[in-house]
Amino acid sequence: MTILVDGHLGSGVIYKRDGIIITNEHVVRSAKDKKVKVAFADGQQTAGQVQAADAVSDIAIVKVERSDLPAADFQHELPAVGSMAIAIGSPLGFENSITVGVISGLNRVLPAPGEQKESEKKYPAVDVIQTDAAINPGNSGGALLDGQGRVVGINEAYVPPTEGAVSIGFAIPSATATDAADQLLRTGKVQHAYLGLQVTTLTPEIAEQLNAQITSGVLVLQAAPDSPAEKAGISPGDIIRTFDGTPIASDQTYLSRLRKVSPGDEVTLTVRRGPRDITVKVTTTDRPG
């Protein structure tokens, strides 16, 4: 279906037959008083209310007063690379449009320029599905289906042609989307593991300035006061090299790895401090605010 918000539009997927719809948080972010309009494939249009939203997972819940809706079948296992992908939505206002392609890749991390804070999401810090099924403005929040008509992802973003891309789109995996949706329905929020670090990718230029003898990792710019990382002794100037044994090559890799753990989990970081590596164990908390 189509979700209309203050002069722009996006798409949505019926999650529960009693009027619960999943869409992207960025689709409904500007909704005044959390009110939207929802246009269905049967021609009906009704008022919708944004019940809850989470910017980090980019998932939101919209409620409409209908109890006769056909809930979608969500496939929680990741699709196979090369398998069929069908994107449904309302790109550029063309309602109920379908584009077809394949699953191009899994566990992608969307590029985000500059420094990244865990608490300030610029782009999704999640492992997303890449597809060549055309995704355009207005597809956001719609379904990415497999060949059996099951929802394997929630369409989220694309790389525009101005950046030299052709058919590079991304979707939030169904398991990630429904987990966030279920938490939003239960508590109105989504829990995200938090360490309290602001990091940036260690480039060769930065490594040379620091006289570091390594060329891969993320440089700690700041550890938030009273955060788990500060309490564990991590400080600006440290370079994080591995996260639970996974090499960390960029701030994107760091944020992606952090998204794989839950609040309360203990993680092990390999940190370069001065001329040597040290091991630091940190217990994550829920992201504040």
Q: What is the pLDDT of residues 68-121, one digit of tens each?
A: 899 999 999 999 999 999 999 988 778 778 999 999 998 887 755 444 444 444
State mean pLDDT over 184-210: 93
Is the per-residue pLDDT at 192 higher than 60? yes
Domains and CATH numbers, the chain: 2-64 (2.40.10.10), 84-187 (2.40.10.10), 193-286 (2.30.42.10)
State mean pLDDT over 45-62: 95
Mean pLDDT of all residues belonging to the chain? 90
In this prediction the pTM is: 0.81
d(C-alpha 11, C-alpha 130), whole Å? 18
Q: So what's the pLDDT on residue 289?
A: 67
Q: So what's the pLDDT on residue 118?
A: 46
Chain CA centroid to CA 260, Å:
12
As annotated, the active-site residues are 26, 58, 140
Is the per-residue pLDDT at 130 higher than 70? yes
Highest mean pLDDT among 214-218, 266-270, 285-289: 266-270
Is the per-residue pLDDT at 269 higher than 60? yes
